[in-house]
Structure 1
Amino acid sequence: MLRTDILKQAELWKRRVVLHLEDPETALRTGQIDHHDAEFLSTMPEASDVYRFKLFDTSGRVVWSTRPEEIGTSEPRNFFRSDVARGMTHYIQETVPLSEIDGLDLHTENTSKTTQHHVAEVFMPVTKNGRFIGAIEFFTDFTDLRSTFIYRLRVSLAILSGIALLALSAVSLVTYRTNRYQLQSLKNRSDKERELMDDQLRLAREVRLLGELNEWLQSSRSLDELFDMVSRFMTHILPEAEGSVYVYSNSRDVLDGCASWNGGSHKAHIHPEGCWGLRRGRTYEFGASEVDFVCEHAEPHDGRPYFCFPILAHGETVGLLHLRAHEGSGEAFHDSKKLAQLCAEQISMAIANVRMRDQLHDQSVRDPLTGLFNRRHMTETLRKAISRSQQTGSPLSLIAVDVDHFKKFNDTHGHDAGDMVLRAVGSALETGCDRDEVACRIGGEEFMLILPDNTPDDAMTRAEQIRQAVEAITVRYGEKSLPRITISVGVAHYPTHGVMPQDLMRVADDALYAAKDKGRNQVQVGKSNQTVTDIADRKRPVVSGSSTSLAKP
């Protein structure tokens, strides 16, 4: 009877161990047990009648034990390979001294009454799909249980010797009910422990994913990359919800849809007044109150609950995180509100960091007066453009621009008027750029344009168009218009005029000074031998007040 009871309990112990191991087969084969599983295995003797147990691989080697010194040893007895390895349970009962029983608090009372204790040693095979993958050996001290059974039997025989059959039936009934109660208690305890362990594992997973999300978001280099990371992480963090994220456009009139996940979708643009979360400045939960109103961006609505989390950065609302429950996940969806709020906070901090990083980058590469790129960015961009042309064979041209008689503007009308002239010229140059073309202010009244993928003829045409656009500018200062603005332009082509950035810049500058020497307000192209050819006659007719000439490069 004791053996049967112990074997039943051993089966339950084995199930508890296997169920709590994340990957039993890998753990038994390699002995690699993660921190959470090891912590559970170490605490199991404190919550059961087991005072010691081991995990074996298929060869009989110990891969884990409550006694660490046993790890790596092998089971030498033959029954392991003849019985256990074939899927049979092996039971050994023996009497051992007190020193052989691990001194856990749960067994202190059991071990304090006698120096010799009855111990059951049970080998339980572990199989998967009918295949032997390892074994577990349990040690349990049943001294008190054995004494109890013997005592009850003797009392029953002494008192009920005349009605032995009835006494035997009564003992059997008591034993059955006792075992039934113990099994039920063990099952209830196991269920509670499993629920607690599941909650702890879920919490640990959420904390880990939030940490990883924060780490990845902080390393994103752009908002597009950031929103791609958000989509991938939110699929794992909140699998019971579909979602989307919106960010205010530069105009602040609408929010632009940036990303969606888990089957969700986003509109191209939404108005902030169409979201109750944005209008009220706090999280809006549809489905939590008796009376709810649907946001415009959630239409068409099918009745499923959803969240609207305003995304804040430095106290300012910069976007919206929208989450909607999947079909049949209403309760789990509501329980995830706190986690979703933490995700919104992580996203808001990441957006603020990316925008601040973009602002700092712009400040480092932009001219504060005109908004054009500065000399540092121009040099780096020109170097990359030359490298690309070397690899692909695509054409490349460089245009140098200088405002004619700029000193007179400053001396006659003041520096404010001069700044207005530089801004007007910078705006005209930026308007004249297309695709990957870059306009830069390299200092004072000097500008340069990098024109990749432009043939020499195209570059000359663009240079003349820019000259005419600047000439057509009218700048008002105070109550009057400033004198007409003109520019002198020099053009250099890669690789005709050089293959190094400094070579192209020198040729373009030489062509620019040649234009000034010939009367200003014209375009000149450099030659590889450092001579220049007049090109303006081909681009425009000669007019009063300007000197124009034209020649092929």
Structure 2
Amino acid sequence: MKKALTLSIVDRLRGLSLLLMLIAATAVSTWAVLAVPGPVVDRMLEADIRQQAELWQRRVTLHMADAESAFEEGIIQPQDASLLTLFTEETDVYRYRLLTSAGEIFWSSRSDEIGEFESNVFFSTQVSRGETYYDSDTVPVFEVDNSPLSGSYTEELTREVARIYVPLMHNGHFDGAIDFHTDITDLRTTFIQLARLLVALLTGIALAAMTIAAYVIFKSNRFRMNQLRQRSETEREILDEQLRLAREVQLLGELNEWLQSSRSLDELFDMVARFMTHILPTAEGSVYVYSNSRDVLDGCASWNGGTHKDHIHPEECWGLRRGRTYEFGASEIDFVCGHAEPHDGRAYYCFPILAHGETVGLMHLRALTDATEAFINSKKLAQMCAEQISMAIANVRMRDQLHDQSVRDPLTGLFNRRHMTETLRKSINNSQNAGTPLSIIAVDVDHFKKFNDNHGHDAGDMVLRAVGSVLEQACDGDEVACRPGGEEFTLILPGACQEDVMTKAELLRQAVEAIIVRYGEKALPAISISLGVAHYPRHGTMPQDLLRASDEALYEAKAKGRNQVCVASSTEQAPRDPAAQNVKPKPPGSDSPIAAE
């Protein structure tokens, strides 16, 4: 009973509110019928008269023998004057005037105005700049030329008149203007009546529609109550959706936190595979990253039963070729990516992974069987995952680049002295713990100063890069090539026996000797190196001991004539004094073995 009473009260309140709305709509419609058409019609008439004025101007100037001279000199020819007089009889213009650029009226349909000057400010501020000036006003009927004062006009005391100034421009110069006056009373009245009729018709239709709508609404209250129940259920679904989104946001935040803490790309992709299984359970996926050469993409990870190929070409993916996300199954006609073959018709996404505006990889997602709808609804979430992965890849790569810059020699790309010392210390510890051999080779370019003095420092840099390239190519596995500084190089060779080390040193010497470096249009002189070898623990158990022993062996190789390999003496022997090597007799005409360096 209470429920029925409540519904009745609600129905009456709604009926009252609808009635008030109809009354308000009727009042607004009445105001619109009476007030709106006037300004609208005035704007329409202004636009029409502006177009007509252009035609009137052309007709006036065509009636004149030399319009340009007439406006410049302010003189009208007699034959022009007779033709201009007929203009008011042929058009709707009842009065018009010809003005010079200074504002002087040198001809008018009212002869008593000739010789006067235009005093309105708009003539010098607007018309003289080439702008058409329009104005309308209500004037007494006797001011309208050729307007009869008898008949129906005796009851009309005023007329609506439009006045327009049309400038005459020639080559960007203001020659003068023509002032047209036309009576728009009858035309404006007719337009307003038509506009009011149209507005009344439209408002009537609108009121009728509102009345019908009100009746339908009034009769459908119970149906609306059902709609309210359905809305409540919808809101409950929205709440569930918000909870789901909150969980996804939480997972994305955790994914971002873990990815930012990853130390390498391999660790990063392992995290991606584990998280994507929970974030997108309806999709199988894989991740590809561009190789260093950027000609192919390397497969890095996959999840939820997905697989990835070892390598794919960028041309195989429509997402990479088009530079944006590619969605297979969204259009009537689709093309399968080459990397998605063999394809069974399931929907899939290809998300290009971007970092600092550059494409660095690809994330491929494919709907699991019987989960297409949920997969399609997860596109936005998948896009956010791709963005998180792209930022993480960019951070890891930037961290790797910064680390690489801190341990690499910028000229040759070999490791610098800092990294050499750390690597040598680690290698000694490993050799000590595992009982494996360790050797180092000190390398120095012979007569390097001559390259700089005779050919310039650019040529010297080319020599250093060429030698560094040979050393780097000779390193296998854990072997490391370093450039401590200047023309000096060092090779750290863990796990190699002494015989193999000597063989490698000799092969390096021969390889460098065979280098031909071209500088400009000619080849530089032959390059040779001297090498000093030291073995652990025979020549020392500390990094500084091994480095000192290899340097002493290097000095010995230089003292013996350069371009050769020498092994350091045993630690029991007295260390060699590098300065002592410089006093060895030298061949006539040659430089001191060490001083030249």
Per the shorter chain, which TM-score range?
0.5 to 0.7
Counterpart Cα distance in 2 of 1:480 and 1:294: 54
- SS in structure 1 of the partner of residue 292 of structure 2: coil
Partner of 1:486: 528
Partner of 1:323: 365
In the TM superposition, 1:169-248 aligns within 5 A as 195-248=237-290
Shift of 1:389: 0.7
Shift of 1:305: 0.7
Shift of 1:257: 1.4
In the TM superposition, 1:541-552 aligns within 5 A as none
1:288 paired with 2:351, answer no
- SS in structure 1 of the partner of residue 251 of structure 2: helix
Q: Which amino acid aligns with 1:400?
A: A
Runs of 4 or more off by more than 6 Å in structure 1? Answer: 187-194
1:389 paired with 2:448, answer no
1:416 paired with 2:458, answer yes
Q: Aligned match of 1:250 in 269, 292, 296?
A: 292
The answer as to whether partners of 1:524 and 1:532 remain within 8 angstroms in 2 is no
1:528 paired with 2:571, answer yes
Partner of 2:417: 375
Q: Aligned match of 1:350 in 376, 392, 395?
A: 392
1:448 paired with 2:505, answer no
Q: Deviations over 1:460-498 (max 9, x none)?
A: 111111111111111122222211111111111111111
The answer as to whether partners of 1:285 and 1:306 remain within 8 angstroms in 2 is yes
Partner of 1:85: none
- SS in structure 2 of the partner of residue 458 of structure 1: helix
Q: Aligned match of 2:518 in 465, 471, 476?
A: 476
The answer as to whether partners of 1:510 and 1:530 remain within 8 angstroms in 2 is no
Partner of 2:448: 406
Counterpart Cα distance in 2 of 1:451 and 1:373: 14
1:460 paired with 2:502, answer yes
- SS in structure 2 of the partner of residue 243 of structure 1: strand
Q: Which amino acid aligns with 2:420?
A: M
Q: Which amino acid aligns with 2:346?
A: R
Q: Aligned match of 2:547 in 484, 501, 505?
A: 505
Q: In the superposition, relative to structure 1, how do residues 190 and 216 fare at CA in structure 2: closer, same or farther (>3 Å)?
A: same
Partner of 1:134: none
Shift of 1:192: 6.5
Shift of 1:378: 0.3
Counterpart Cα distance in 1 of 2:575 and 2:499: 16
1:430 paired with 2:472, answer yes
Quick check: which has more Rg, 1 or 2? Answer: 2
TM-score by structure 1 length?
0.61
Partner of 2:159: none
Shift of 1:275: 1.6
Shift of 1:357: 1.3
Unpaired stretches in structure 1, ≥5 consecutive residues = 1-183, 534-545, 547-553
Partner of 2:218: none
In the TM superposition, 1:331-350 aligns within 5 A as 331-350=373-392
Q: Deviations over 1:363-420 (max 9, x none)?
A: 1111111111000000000000001111101100011011111111111111111111
Q: Which amino acid aligns with 2:571?
A: S
Shift of 1:529: 2.8
The answer as to whether partners of 1:254 and 1:269 remain within 8 angstroms in 2 is yes
- SS in structure 1 of the partner of residue 351 of structure 2: strand
Larger mean CA deviation between 418-427 and 245-254 belongs to 245-254
Partner of 1:109: none
The answer as to whether partners of 1:274 and 1:296 remain within 8 angstroms in 2 is yes
Counterpart Cα distance in 1 of 2:414 and 2:353: 32
Partner of 1:300: 342
Q: Which amino acid aligns with 1:298?
A: A
Say how many residue pairs are matched: 351
Partner of 1:95: none
Q: What is the CA RMSD across the aligned residues, in angstroms?
A: 2.3
Q: Aligned match of 1:279 in 313, 321, 324?
A: 321
Q: Deviations over 1:238-283 (max 9, x none)?
A: 0110001111222222222111110001122222222221122111
Shift of 1:525: 0.8
- SS in structure 1 of the partner of residue 363 of structure 2: strand
Shift of 1:191: 6.8
Counterpart Cα distance in 2 of 1:530 and 1:283: 71
Counterpart Cα distance in 2 of 1:495 and 1:251: 41
Counterpart Cα distance in 1 of 2:327 and 2:454: 65
Counterpart Cα distance in 1 of 2:530 and 2:325: 59
Counterpart Cα distance in 1 of 2:544 and 2:525: 34
Q: Which amino acid aligns with 1:470?
A: V
TM-score by structure 2 length?
0.56
Q: Deviations over 1:120-169 (max 9, x none)?
A: xxxxxxxxxxxxxxxxxxxxxxxxxxxxxxxxxxxxxxxxxxxxxxxxxx
Identity %: 79
Q: Which amino acid aligns with 1:421?
A: V
